[in-house]
Structure 1
């Protein structure tokens, strides 16, 4: 019946919705491919380091120490590199401690109980419970249990396995540190810049979408921006891990020592950027409610949100090129100034929350740029101004009465 109606010249009312859905699906496909390629670029350096470390560990154990089966050394090297970005020195120590516990338990139980299936199970249980009781990390627990399994299963057929296992743990962990610190140290700033881009681009893009949604009173666009911003845990986790890895590299690698001061900006910016993400989420959520309730939207309000988005982009760029983030600071204060103008023109309840969150997010970005919190708050108040509605001027329809002071910093 639908097709017949279309042939008779009726309008296909579903076509615009289907076309919109297809555009979103195509965009999502492109975004997914872009994200995957970005993750591959992020992992290239680590993959090369792991490959080099595994090769060197095998060569040292097999060729120099005459180990006929140098299995544990490359495994230890790859495990140290791949599972502990930012904590490789600690992971090497954990690796050796775990091996020691596993060897000790395996030898003791084999001596008293012999080797077999039920002995294997008992060894694993004992290794896990002992390491957990001692307060060891998950890495030590896993390494102790795995080593105990190897001792029980291989000792009957391979004599004197314990010493090679210890040596391989030292070789693998040590070579992993050698590769990352001396032979192939990654540029810590480049690693952080690549990791920061997705998190900061996500924040800037959703603020831009929110600003446009406010201009057009597009509730659906604002809601989609809110949902996308809520999915920021992966981006923030990658960013935080990259900071830890970069700090470790700059500590261990002599050729990267001169980068320590430059890394300070990023290390101190992580927490305020996280807060800016959360406060922007509140801003966008109240924007959705503002549109739903048909509250007034003064023209400067969307501009204020758009300036926040640009401030995030400028912050990312100025960090990447090693410049003092003065342009980002100026744009944050401009966002607050526009928010003050919007507040003076009259807003509703949700609108006042949006204005407050513009101020709070701008404060977060100023702190991320290297300004102390107290100084940032002072600049925010100055830029916002002591604004109130002129006496005798009626409030706009749907707006709440304006208090004599500006909204708090949140």
Structure 2
């Protein structure tokens, strides 16, 4: 009994130690990921103070660094448009808050009236929820922290405007991470979900495992989150490459990802249809010939190759070869005779092949011609040169 308690205590200590190491590792990872934002925040606050103090000549421009940090802080992971909206909200809230408090004085009901007026003014001017929320918060700040005493403090509005502009400029132009690095990291899981789903369907059909086929279908259904993150990262990367002069060279490589993104999304949807049919085929005890399984494996390899070729900035020739090989093998299997569900799978392989060719930059007309030609013959993927 005592020995059991000792083992239990040792296990608990080991588990706590493991969790502590994992927690520390996660904290270090998050710390590294925040280094860029910390540098941007510090730089924006310093520049905002210098601009308001040295260039504009305000002795205590504390609203300038506040506005700069607010714009940067709430805009992390968002588009530049949101940052500009925050800038407008901060400046507008300070200006309207100063006006209202100057005419009505300070107190509980005055703060309420000030916030209500600022919200209504923003709504009338067509402000977004971001602008409205930030303007109301800024009105509360000037009403409670430093209400005007001897006049309307236009300088605080100017400070907020200057600080917000500095924050937007730092966000858009300075210390920007390479957009290609961001998009490559986001593309790998998005493309990987598609490649893994096709590979798992092939393995499930080979083994006749209904459980594995259902797991592949579930994984493909859950892949939307990865694709959404990829599309969001792509939008942010395009914005960075457009606005930051030091990143202009990334615009051409990013265009290849932009062109590929919608077709990968279509391929993922078609892969889900394929996976559902694989489940039905196994449930019905339908035979899946080796050629059909090989076709799925070739399609999976084509997706994996595409993400590598895009990352390397190469013309995706190998991806096209593997894609057409997949379509050709499926076409041959279809001509030899397939059951109903297996025939649907072959048709979906052809559709996914169309999506992949389009993702490599092949035109619609050329894609149709290549797919028709490949579906009418047998082709085996050649080994890449080493």
TM-score band, normalised by shorter chain: 0.7 to 0.9
Q: 1:304 to 1:116 in 2, by over 3 A?
A: farther
1:174 aligned to which of 166, 186, 206: 166
The Cα shift of 1:50 comes to: 3.4
Q: 1:282 to 1:147 in 2, by over 3 A?
A: same
Structure 1 vs Structure 2 CA RMSD: 3.2
Q: 1:367 to 1:341 in 2, by over 3 A?
A: same
CA contact (8 A) 2:45 2:68 kept: no
Number of aligned positions between the proteins: 354
CA contact (8 A) 2:85 2:131 kept: yes
Listed one character per residue, the Cα deviations across residues 218-256 of structure 1 (whole Å, up to 9, x for unaligned) are 111111121122222332222112212222222222222
CA contact (8 A) 2:85 2:130 kept: yes
Q: Are 2:353 and 1:362 equivalent residues in the alignment? A: yes
Q: Are 2:37 and 1:47 equivalent residues in the alignment? A: yes
Q: Are 2:83 and 1:56 equivalent residues in the alignment? A: no
CA contact (8 A) 2:98 2:153 kept: no
Give distance in 1, aligned partners of 2:257 and 2:244.
19
What runs of 5+ residues in structure 1 fail to find an aligned partner?
A: 1-28, 388-410
> What residue number does 1:234 align with?
225
Structure 2 counterpart SS, 1:186: coil
Q: Which deviates more from structure 2 when the two are superposed, residues 211-220 or residues 48-57? A: 48-57
Structure 1 counterpart SS, 2:199: helix
Q: Are 2:297 and 1:300 equivalent residues in the alignment? A: no
CA contact (8 A) 1:250 1:260 kept: yes
Listed one character per residue, the Cα deviations across residues 147-196 of structure 1 (whole Å, up to 9, x for unaligned) are 22223223437776553344234324424423642x42321211110111
Give distance in 2, aligned partners of 1:60 and 1:172.
13
CA contact (8 A) 2:298 2:322 kept: yes
The Cα shift of 1:382 comes to: 1.3
The Cα shift of 1:348 comes to: 2.5
Q: Are 2:195 and 1:192 equivalent residues in the alignment? A: no
Give distance in 1, aligned partners of 2:104 and 2:353.
66
Structure showing the higher helix proportion among its residues: 2
Q: TM-score, normalised by structure 2?
A: 0.80
The Cα shift of 1:51 comes to: 4.0
Q: Which deviates more from structure 2 when the two are superposed, residues 189-198 or residues 111-120? A: 111-120
Listed one character per residue, the Cα deviations across residues 236-294 of structure 1 (whole Å, up to 9, x for unaligned) are 22211221222222222222222221211111221111111111111111111111111
Give distance in 2, aligned partners of 1:276 and 1:47.
35
Q: 1:73 to 1:168 in 2, by over 3 A?
A: farther
> What residue number does 2:13 align with?
none
> What residue number does 1:11 align with?
none
The Cα shift of 1:327 comes to: 0.8
The Cα shift of 1:305 comes to: 1.4
Runs of 4+ deviating beyond 6 Å:
36-39
Counterparts of 1:309-320 in structure 2, within 5 Å, are 309-320=300-311
Q: Are 2:253 and 1:262 equivalent residues in the alignment? A: yes
Listed one character per residue, the Cα deviations across residues 312-346 of structure 1 (whole Å, up to 9, x for unaligned) are 11111001111011111111111111211221222
What runs of 5+ residues in structure 2 fail to find an aligned partner?
A: 1-18, 379-386
The Cα shift of 1:84 comes to: 5.3
Q: Are 2:95 and 1:101 equivalent residues in the alignment? A: no
> What residue number does 2:366 align with?
375
Q: 1:381 to 1:266 in 2, by over 3 A?
A: same
Give distance in 2, aligned partners of 1:239 and 1:49.
25
Give distance in 2, aligned partners of 1:180 and 1:274.
29
Give distance in 2, aligned partners of 1:173 and 1:43.
25
The Cα shift of 1:383 comes to: 0.8
CA contact (8 A) 2:241 2:251 kept: yes
Give distance in 2, aligned partners of 1:161 and 1:365.
60
Q: 1:165 to 1:227 in 2, by over 3 A?
A: farther
Q: 1:52 to 1:236 in 2, by over 3 A?
A: farther
Q: 1:115 to 1:44 in 2, by over 3 A?
A: closer
> What residue number does 1:20 align with?
none
CA contact (8 A) 1:208 1:306 kept: yes
Give distance in 1, aligned partners of 2:362 and 2:285.
37
